[in-house]
């Protein structure tokens, strides 16, 4: 079986629900609209499902002119895709400072009412300068929006099947791919081949698979309900598997774009890993 892209996913607002796509524009900073917004506290520190699982229940959509957020009670927030004319302000993600454009008081009030605490909504500025890990990439310069650290996360269905087999052997519930919040999901490659490969290539695509993704508490959260079904899983099971050298719970590969920015990726697109 020739490996191919089986699904594509974006998460317009960091830590909120995702959108499943059949095709997506690849930009130099990842898939279009992926993690271009972030919710922060009043000091600019980002919010995450790690400490607020309810974030998973806010559903985003994107139309021709708006980012749209839907709350569980059916209320909607509409945000223009046109950037606001404001000066950039501070955003802090895992201790690293970058800049964001505040989307204004109406968005802030809508989200503050939902979270029952004062928050702001910010977006990536046009002249985004947030660099991807220079210590990992060396001379190669790449940028990302409000993702944890890298513009793309690549995962594999056969790797998920191997993990689910281990979970089932331990009489634990199996889990869907949504727990890992990937951007590009591959099918048809051997399990965990992504960790033994340096590149993912296609007809006009070249991604550098540059770092195994060490997983966190978000993988324990049901991405539909915001609830934790089995505390500590699948992290505990991942830590018993040896597909990445060293201690830790790893699943998926962080990636940066080497070639293909400006092109569309689509499901069914043949790819190879080397």
pLDDT digits (tens, 9 = 90+) for 204-252: 999 999 999 999 999 999 999 999 989 999 999 999 999 999 889 999 9
pLDDT digits (tens, 9 = 90+) for 102-111: 999 999 999 9
- Residue 198 confidence (pLDDT): 98
Mean pLDDT of 19-34: 98
| H-run or E-run covering 92 | strand 89-93
Domain that holds residue 17: 4-273
The yes-or-no verdict on residue 142 having pLDDT over 90 is: yes
Mean pLDDT of 196-208: 97
Mean pLDDT of 24-45: 98
**Residue 52 in tokens:** 């607020």
Question: How many CB atoms are located within 10 Å of the residue 76 CB?
Answer: 12
Q: Is the pTM of this model over 0.95?
A: yes
Between CA 88 and CA 102 the distance in angstroms is: 7
70: alpha, beta or left? (left if phi > 0; alpha if psi -120 to 50)? beta
Between CA 98 and CA 122 the distance in angstroms is: 11
Residue among 134, 124, 156 at smallest CA distance from 30? 124
3-state SS class at 15: coil
Residue 153 near residue 181, CB atoms below 8 Å: yes
**Which string of b and e fits 246-267 if b means at least 16 CB within 10 Å?**
eeebbbbbbbbbbebeeeebeb
The yes-or-no verdict on residue 203 having pLDDT over 90 is: yes
Mean pLDDT of 113-118: 98
- Residue 83 confidence (pLDDT): 95
The yes-or-no verdict on residue 89 having pLDDT over 90 is: yes
Which alpha helices (DSSP H) does 74-143 contain, by range? 105-115, 134-137
pLDDT digits (tens, 9 = 90+) for 37-74: 999 999 999 999 999 999 999 999 999 999 999 999 99
Mean pLDDT of 91-120: 97
For the chain, give the percent of residues with pLDDT over 90. Answer: 97
Length of the chain: 274
| H-run or E-run covering 213 | strand 206-214
Report the chain's terminal Cα–Cα distance, integer Å: 16
- Residue 229 confidence (pLDDT): 84
Residue 72 near residue 57, CB atoms below 8 Å: yes
The yes-or-no verdict on residue 1 having pLDDT over 80 is: no
Residue 271 near residue 202, CB atoms below 8 Å: yes
Mean confidence (pLDDT) of the chain: 97
C-alpha 211, offset from chain centre: 15
Mean pLDDT of 184-197: 97
Number of domains in the chain: 1
Mean pLDDT of 1-15: 96
């Amino acid at each position: 079986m020739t490996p191919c892209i089986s699904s594509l996913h974006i998460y317009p607002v960091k830590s909120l629900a995702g959108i499943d796509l059949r095709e997506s524009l690849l930009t130099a900073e990842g898939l279009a609209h992926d993690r271009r917004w972030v919710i922060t506290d009043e000091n600019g520190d980002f919010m995450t499902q790690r400490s607020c699982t309810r974030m998973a229940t806010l559903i985003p959509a994107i139309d021709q002119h708006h980012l749209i957020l839907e709350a569980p009670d059916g209320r909607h927030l509409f945000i223009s895709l046109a950037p606001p004319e404001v000066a950039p302000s501070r955003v802090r993600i895992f201790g690293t400072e970058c800049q964001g454009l505040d989307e204004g008081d109406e968005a802030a009030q809508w989200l503050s009412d939902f979270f029952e605490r004062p928050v702001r909504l910010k977006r990536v500025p046009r002249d985004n300068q947030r660099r991807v890990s220079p210590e990992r990439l060396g001379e190669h310069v790449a940028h990302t929006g409000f993702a944890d650290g890298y513009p793309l996360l690549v995962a594999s269905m056969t790797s998920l099947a191997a993990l689910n087999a281990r979970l089932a052997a331990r009489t634990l519930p199996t889990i869907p791919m949504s727990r890992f919040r990937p951007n590009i999901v591959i099918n048809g490659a051997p399990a965990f081949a992504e960790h033994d490969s340096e590149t993912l290539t296609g007809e006009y695509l070249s991604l550098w698979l540059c770092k195994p993704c060490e997983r966190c508490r978000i993988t324990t959260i049901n991405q539909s309900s915001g609830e934790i079904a089995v505390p500590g899983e699948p992290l505990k099971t991942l830590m018993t598997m040896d597909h990445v050298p060293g201690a830790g719970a790893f699943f998926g590969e962080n990636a940066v774009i080497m070639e293909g920015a400006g092109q569309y990726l689509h499901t069914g697109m043949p790819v190879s890993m080397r």
